[in-house]
Structure 1
Amino acid sequence: MKKITFSMRTIKGIFLFLLLTITLNLQAQNSDKAKALLDQVSAKVKSYENIAIDFRYSMSNSRQNLNQESKGSVTLKGNLYKLDFMGTTRIFDGKKVYNIVPEDEEISISKYDDQKSDDLTPAKMLTFFNSGYKYSWDILQNIKGRKIQYVKLNPLNAKDKTKEVLIGVDVQTKHIYNFIQTEKDGTKILITINSFKTNQPLSKNHFTFTESKYPNYYINRLD
């Protein structure tokens, strides 16, 4: 199997998924039902102090012989986050982004830059995602006894590499169940939530990088 890489395509897919999970205040273009459902999701998740998610990730493209699978976890509180995925820990403390790679014993530290495409936060993704898409009501599926209602999003820009995005919402809990992004080159990204916990007892340093914990690591300060 092809080695899994923590690419920008991967990061953007995850962050788009996180955006949909924690703040879905979207403006439906062509479906009041789609907007109403997403607004219910938004209202519910905004009431939480924090969210802890375990998820399953896959990216595939038969034309490119691409088949990647992995599991990950993320904790979010406002714009702060800690993501553990593909052997890498990524922390955003509100000012800086820390990428910790135990396999290489290397850490990169950079200041958050709102203009950089790879400096992503849920709020920044919300700004991106709130425009340029039309929304429509899609199919209802019964998955292991759970009713999952899908909302489809299609880019308005013909040059967008994304063909469509499907958001699966658990009808009973009003939580996101899964996220399916299909690109025009045939690449499909699927993220499914295995565990969704809220208002967890987090330590005050949960989103803090402590350099003393990594005495033998090479630290690359990018700015």
Structure 2
Amino acid sequence: MKRILFLLLSIAIGGAAAAQDREAKEILDKLSDKTKSYSTITADFTISIDNKKDKVKDTQQGKMQLKGSMFKISMKANDIYSNGRVRWTHVKEADEVNLQNINSNDPSILNNPVKLFNAYLTDFRYAYKGIKKESGVRVQEIHLFPKDLKATYSQVKLMIEESTGMPKTVIYKGKDGVTYTVRFSRITPNLPIANSEFVFNTKTHPNVEVIDMR
């Protein structure tokens, strides 16, 4: 009898988990379909870094612009540009710019924010965790686990605003003990953005030191 009850309980739990995964997929599908319909996305955000090992915390505000595979991130310390193939990181205090190739297999929005809207269905396992309130707003909580075991983070928590279907908060838990929290205050679609905005212009920074790390 105990064995039968255990089997029934296991089936029930497995069925509930499968239902949660289906719900998570439906939410992520809607997010992907919506953002694919936009020509551009502009977002204001705050990123908080919590390094428990070194007991260091930092918070910065920024602006993100996306167009196809191209992106630009503007923050106080750094500006990051990408034409979809190359990433330029302009370190303002040092007045240097680092060039790196974009890794299309990297699902982290910290390195390639375009992935925020289209990587979750292919690069992660996911589970729906229900509705919660964040700053008075109802959000759908989804936990994601990278399929790549070599990924530098162990888990991503994604909060989708229920009324808009767009990301509200993304939390990356790094294997090194560092947690990155990105909170979006505003996301605006379809603003006109010239392609030149996504390429670092050395002519407007004549004294910048260029470091090619490709």
TM-score scaled by structure 2? 0.75
Counterpart position of 2:80 = 90
Counterpart position of 1:14 = none
Q: Distance in 2 between matches of 1:111 and 1:139?
A: 38
Q: Distance in 2 between matches of 1:157 and 1:97?
A: 22
Assess if the C-alpha contact under 8 Å between 2:61 and 2:75 holds in 1.
yes
1:182 paired to 2:173: yes
Q: Deviations over 1:128-182 (max 9, x none)?
A: 9724x42111131123432111011234677765332211001110000001122
Show structure 2 runs of 5+ residues with no match: 1-17
The Cα shift of 1:32 comes to 0.6
Alignment partner of 1:31: what SS? helix
1:49 paired to 2:39: yes
The Cα shift of 1:209 comes to 2.8
Q: Deviations over 1:73-119 (max 9, x none)?
A: 1111011111123511111123432222221122233555668999x
- What is the RMSD of the two structures over their aligned residues, measured on CA atoms? 3.3
Show structure 1 runs of 5+ residues with no match: 1-27
Alignment partner of 2:197: what SS? coil
Q: Distance in 1 between matches of 2:34 and 2:149?
A: 33
Count residues in correspondence.
195
Higher mean Cα deviation, 147-156 or 30-39?
147-156
Counterpart AA for 1:176: P
Alignment partner of 2:198: what SS? coil
Q: Residues 152-163 of structure 1: matches in 2 within 5 Å?
A: 152-155=143-146, 162-163=153-154
Assess if the C-alpha contact under 8 Å between 1:29 and 1:135 holds in 2.
no
Assess if the C-alpha contact under 8 Å between 2:35 and 2:117 holds in 1.
no
Counterpart position of 1:196 = 187
Q: Distance in 2 between matches of 1:54 and 1:154?
A: 26
Give aligned-pair identity as a percent.
Answer: 22
Moved runs in structure 1, 4+ residues, more than 6 A?
A: 115-118
Counterpart position of 2:122 = 130
Counterpart position of 1:31 = 21
More helix by share: 2
Q: Distance in 1 between matches of 2:165 and 2:106?
A: 33
Q: Residues 1-223 of structure 1: matches in 2 within 5 Å?
A: 31-110=21-100, 112=102, 120-121=111-112, 122=114, 130-131=122-123, 133-155=124-146, 162-222=153-213
